[in-house]
Copies of this chain bind each other. A is one copy, B any other.
Amino acid sequence: MEQLDKQQLNEDSCHTGSDRKSHHSDKTKSNLVSRLNRIEGQIRGVKGLIEKDTYCDDVLNQIAAIQSALNGVGKLLLEHHMNSCVIERIQEGDNEVIKELMITINKLMK
């Protein structure tokens, strides 16, 4: 119940029940989705460049731009995750979230 009240106050929150869920606010969601739409368009653009035999160096620059955009989505999600799930679960005494987070950060840092 307390959990429910907290969710009403905090739109961006984290469910850690049987089915773990993240709750992004509508604003966060539409920000993430519009970034991903743009990235999808960039990927399609690169396919077109390759089909038209565009000079590789120009295509590589496009790929660097997509990597950077994707990195931006990753950082935004990570920040959101820390500010909701990580804080909530630590406050509930569930420190396992840190182990899980380190595994994810290691993948993102390669």
**Which residues of B have CB within 8 Å of A59?**
22, 77
Can you name the residue of chain B whose Cβ is closest to the Cβ of A16? B55
Asked if residues A70 and B66 are in contact (CB atoms below 8 Å), the reply is: yes
Asked if residues B102 and A82 are in contact (CB atoms below 8 Å), the reply is: yes
Asked if residues A64 and B104 are in contact (CB atoms below 8 Å), the reply is: yes
Can you name the residue of chain B whose Cβ is closest to the Cβ of A59? B77
Asked if residues B63 and A74 are in contact (CB atoms below 8 Å), the reply is: yes
Asked if residues B32 and A75 are in contact (CB atoms below 8 Å), the reply is: no
A12 to B57, CA, bound (A): 14
**Which residues of B have CB within 8 Å of A14?**
55-56
A13 to B51, CA, bound (A): 14
